[in-house]
């Protein structure tokens, strides 16, 4: 459990992880089947925003783009096949294309947010708690009880690297 509530993950943020893209493609296909069964006048295709967003977050950008593009295209083909090239069919096709464009932009946005969070987590490594450190040589006692140099301890638990030099005070005092 996180001790500092300010650092706790917000409840509204999607959990991290990866899910195979095939599940989102299957969800898109199921939405297309339900769309076909319900009929051309339904607003059901708008529900495909959910698998598109989840695919963008949990799989990758290209899966989300493929679903966000394929579902409206198939819906437009379905509408034009069933209703012909009537004025109402063209209006429905135009509205489907407009919704598809908005959902495509959302997919790109969610994919970028998901990738950004994964990149942040790769770079954020923190040490917590009390570190038992020798007041003379500055070695730190590790979990096994062995003493290891400060640089080794921190480098093995983070991406930090050390370089050594002398501060002006130490140069004046020791040299």
Q: In this structure, are 99 and 164 located in the same domain?
A: no
Residue 128 lies in a domain: no
pLDDT of residue 112: 92
Residue 154 lies in a domain: yes
Confidence check: pLDDT of 169 > 80: yes
pLDDT of residue 109: 93
Residue 114 lies in a domain: yes
Residue 37 is part of which domain span? 5-123
pLDDT of residue 101: 92
Residue 28 lies in a domain: yes
Q: In this structure, are 148 and 117 located in the same domain?
A: no
Confidence check: pLDDT of 2 > 50: no
pLDDT greater at residue 106 or residue 5? 106
Q: In this structure, are 31 and 109 located in the same domain?
A: yes
Q: In this structure, are 78 and 40 located in the same domain?
A: yes
Residue 158 lies in a domain: yes
Residue 129 lies in a domain: no
Q: In this structure, are 101 and 168 located in the same domain?
A: no
Q: In this structure, are 63 and 17 located in the same domain?
A: yes
Q: In this structure, are 94 and 41 located in the same domain?
A: yes
pLDDT of residue 65: 92
Q: In this structure, are 60 and 88 located in the same domain?
A: yes
Q: In this structure, are 28 and 107 located in the same domain?
A: yes
Q: How many domains does the chain have?
A: 2
Q: In this structure, are 93 and 169 located in the same domain?
A: no
Confidence check: pLDDT of 19 > 90: no
Q: What confidence tens digit (pLDDT) does each residue in 90-128 have?
A: 888 888 888 889 989 999 999 998 888 888 777 665 666
Confidence check: pLDDT of 34 > 50: yes
Share of the chain above pLDDT 70, in %: 82
Confidence check: pLDDT of 23 > 50: yes
- 141 has which bridge partners? 147
């Amino acid at each position: 459990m996180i001790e500092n509530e300010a650092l706790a993950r917000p409840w509204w943020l999607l959990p991290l992880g990866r899910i195979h893209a095939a599940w989102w493609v299957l969800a898109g296909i199921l939405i297309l089947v339900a769309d076909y069964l319900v009929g051309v006048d339904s607003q059901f295709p708008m529900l495909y925003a959910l698998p598109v967003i989840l695919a963008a977050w949990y799989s990758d950008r290209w899966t989300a783009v493929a679903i966000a593009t394929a579902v409206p295209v198939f819906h437009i083909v379905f509408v034009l096949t069933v209703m012909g090239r009537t004025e109402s069919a063209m209006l429905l096709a135009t509205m489907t294309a407009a919704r598809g464009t908005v959902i495509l932009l959302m997919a790109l946005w969610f994919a970028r947010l998901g990738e950004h969070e994964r990149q942040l987590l790769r770079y954020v490594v923190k040490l917590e708690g009390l570190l038992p450190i020798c007041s003379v040589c500055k070695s730190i006692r590790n979990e096994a009880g062995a003493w290891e140099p400060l640089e080794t301890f921190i480098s093995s638990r983070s991406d930090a690297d050390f370089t050594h030099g002398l501060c002006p005070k130490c140069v004046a005092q020791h040299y």
